[in-house]
Structure 1
């Protein structure tokens, strides 16, 4: 894969309408966003790695998943779910993107969708196949609702209903994930495992099954997210020290791994990230 998949410089900026997450869904849903964008020529974008899982309910033209650096299921998608990605993705579309996006946390996948994260990790799957509640009838109802407030109200009802039918997350797995998240990816995994009281093998296996990636990989993704946020305001050397990289070279290697670009290259682009969409 080449490193020239930058957004079209002349493409108009998309319209994003953000909806507050209901308190009942805190920790499970990170954001709900309405997205509408029209373009006069094909747009190619790269989505960098992230810890959130997007569910996309589309009313517009399909999105082509051109490449996944660490995943499967390339091809054309309308409504889809993209599991936690320990790598970057390249997508393209023509004419229009018009959709409602729900960003789940790794804990939300189990609790709301009833699916272990492993089944979705590093994959892009048609949404109705993965989650029957998000079928074509729901997409039609959302489209017919016409206004974003009405659409958000409908989605809230669906999510709250799913909350009552999902699967509980293993408590020690949820605790490990929250420690990784709160530490910005700097938590020592061995120490976390020791505090759970389980063996390294069991704790790693259960975490990987429910979250979708191994604990150390999860920590690396979260640390990358924090570094990316810091990089917009601070020099790379300062960021490397602040977020726990061994040195600036280590930071550069991780950016190549998770974004496909060096930090300098990344700052010259406008990568699409879930965090940017919900921030």
Structure 2
């Protein structure tokens, strides 16, 4: 297998808070390559002009099959993918707020599933993959995808302020903030906030918070004893931490660290904020 080519791009300032990053990826494999993708808070949107990628399994979701261009919604579990041949694509890492704004779809319509781009975002499907294949440089390919996203800004809905506020507070706390306390600060009923949040973000506040906490905690693997990491990130104990890591990644912490599983933040060259 040839060494993958990865080109990173910082999104246009107008996409701040909506797009965490954009990358161009080219990879050649003569034999099937199978990878496990842990759960994460960013939603990968893939505009492909190479061979299809097979979604082999989803631990908590649906949508297995072969895809050219697709988006993977917010998922509280891990995925296994496989490809052979040439993978060439532009990958956009959307925040849940970004998916709602740029695609104009309720988050709950995308969550726990893989959806073809023609169904989820026709403006990024259609002839765009062909244009990318005909474009000679990664700068040109990424620029074409970014321009399509910028053009979608004015057409999509903005998340309700209470939803955006709650999501941002969950992220700022690293998933450690108590949801009941945050909801009480909004002045709205728990039922109202949870319903609006699930509709626009895709998962319940508690489920989304669990993924953010897992993401932050596993970014620190190897920087201390597991019991210390568990306490630092608000888990009851090391056993609780281990169970949550297995739930979201499919393997215990030490195995996850040794395997160096790819994540969105790995592709972007940075850890979770």
TM-score by length of 2: 0.96
- SS of residue in 2 equivalent to 1:39: strand
- Aligned counterpart, 2:120: 130
- Aligned counterpart, 2:135: 145
Runs of 4+ in 1 over 3 A off after TM superposition: none
- Once the two structures are superposed, residues 161-190 of structure 1 have per-residue CA deviations (whole angstroms, 9 ceiling, x without a partner) of 101111110100000000000100001100
Provide the C-alpha distance between the structure 2 equivalents of 1:100 and 1:220, rounded to a whole number of angstroms: 28
Provide the C-alpha distance between the structure 1 equivalents of 2:236 and 2:91, rounded to a whole number of angstroms: 36
- Aligned counterpart, 1:20: 10
Residue 277 (structure 1) aligned with residue 267 (structure 2): yes
Q: 1:56-71 maps to which residues of 2 (within 5 A)?
A: 56-71=46-61
- Once the two structures are superposed, residues 94-132 of structure 1 have per-residue CA deviations (whole angstroms, 9 ceiling, x without a partner) of 122111000000000111111111000011011011111
Q: Let me know the Cα RMSD of the aligned residues.
A: 1.0
Provide the C-alpha distance between the structure 2 equivalents of 1:266 and 1:243, rounded to a whole number of angstroms: 17
- Aligned counterpart, 2:247: 257
Q: In structure 2, list runs of 5 or more residues that go unmatched.
A: none
- Aligned counterpart, 1:4: none
- Aligned counterpart, 1:99: 89
Q: 1:126-205 maps to which residues of 2 (within 5 A)?
A: 126-205=116-195
Residue 246 (structure 1) aligned with residue 236 (structure 2): yes
Provide the C-alpha distance between the structure 1 equivalents of 2:146 and 2:65, rounded to a whole number of angstroms: 29
Residue 256 of structure 1, CA deviation: 0.7
| 2:124–2:145 CA contact under 8 A, matched in 1 | no
Q: 1:198-237 maps to which residues of 2 (within 5 A)?
A: 198-237=188-227
Provide the C-alpha distance between the structure 1 equivalents of 2:131 and 2:2, rounded to a whole number of angstroms: 28
Provide the C-alpha distance between the structure 1 equivalents of 2:242 and 2:186, rounded to a whole number of angstroms: 33
Aligned residues: 269
Match of 1:76 among 45, 66, 82: 66
Provide the C-alpha distance between the structure 2 equivalents of 1:135 and 1:12, rounded to a whole number of angstroms: 28
Label 1:16 to 1:233 Cα distance change in 2 as closer, same or farther (>3 A). farther
- Aligned counterpart, 1:7: none
Residue 273 of structure 1, CA deviation: 1.1
TM-score by length of 1: 0.94
Provide the C-alpha distance between the structure 2 equivalents of 1:53 and 1:156, rounded to a whole number of angstroms: 16
| 2:47–2:125 CA contact under 8 A, matched in 1 | no
Provide the C-alpha distance between the structure 2 equivalents of 1:136 and 1:188, rounded to a whole number of angstroms: 43
- Once the two structures are superposed, residues 67-92 of structure 1 have per-residue CA deviations (whole angstroms, 9 ceiling, x without a partner) of 00000011111100110111000010
